[in-house]
Amino acid sequence: MTHDIIQRMDEEERFLAYLDGEFAPAEKKALEDELASNPELRVRFDQYKRTVELLGRIGPTKAPESFLNDVQTRVARRPIARPTPQIRFPFELVAVMAVLLGVLYMYFVWAPGDPGTILRASPPSIVRIELNHPLETDEIRGLGLESYGRASDGRRIYTTQCTTDSLAAWLKKRPEALIEPQNLLATPGRVKVLIVVPAKVEGSSKQPEGMRPQEKIETGTGVPVSNEPP
């Protein structure tokens, strides 16, 4: 059985090599000698060789004369969906962007301290501050205050938005200020500030910062006279 397989493999390789012209002269002669002395092998080889010759004589087949025209007609009939140039999706870029966004999110929303606290405190809480003296220009400018109008008792109201840190620093110079609620200043973040000050200011001629254009200045005071209803 094994011998037959080896013999068949041997025959296969030798027949193929002989007809493919891959044999060295010595190998070719060896096979021819064996064929001469082995009639059974000779019959198999002759049939094999004639089959190959016969197949070779069939030769290539010609396509019909109208083949090119037929193909061109069919190509023209079908809409040509030429593949669009493939745009490679930039996964690396998307991954980097995602990581960056994650870091920014963590930084601004979850990480302690500025500027994350700014976002965390949004919308800002309101801190109400009462002072027993009117504000000077540099005080108004220092906190970026704007005139908000008058309270029902005639006192002026200024407003701004700032961080609790900058407000605390501003208030250090004004220990008399009444702050409500006080605990807001202990929490880092952004707050809306309402500062109520007495209406009449003596001896100041400068126009305060943040005043609205339509506001008039009280003569000799520098304090805007509100045109808003009290």
Compare residues 14 and 156 and give the one whose CB is closer to another protein: 14
| 3-state SS string for 139-172 | HHHHHCCEEEEECCCCCEEEEEEEEHHHHHHHHH
DSSP tally for the chain: helices H, then strands E = 8, 7
Q: How far apart are CA 169 and CA 51, in angstroms?
A: 106
Compare residues 83 and 213 and give the one whose CB is closer to another protein: 83
Kindly state the tokens that stand for 183. 């605990």
Least separation in angstroms between CB 43 and another protein: 10
Least separation in angstroms between CB 56 and another protein: 6
The radius of gyration of the chain's CA atoms, rounded to the nearest angstrom, is 50
CB-CB contact of 216 with 225 (8 Å)? yes
Least separation in angstroms between CB 108 and another protein: 46
Least separation in angstroms between CB 28 and another protein: 18
For residue 147, with 0-12 CB atoms within 10 Å meaning exposed, 13-18 middle and 19 or more buried, which class applies?
A: buried
Cβ atoms within 10 Å, residue 44: 14
Least separation in angstroms between CB 33 and another protein: 21
Compare residues 3 and 62 and give the one whose CB is closer to another protein: 62
Compare residues 17 and 157 and give the one whose CB is closer to another protein: 17
Compare residues 50 and 200 and give the one whose CB is closer to another protein: 50
Residue type, 9: M
Residues that bind another protein (CB under 8 A): 12-13, 15-16, 44, 46-48, 50-52, 54-56, 58-64, 67-68, 70-72, 74-75, 78, 80-83
3-state secondary structure of 228: coil
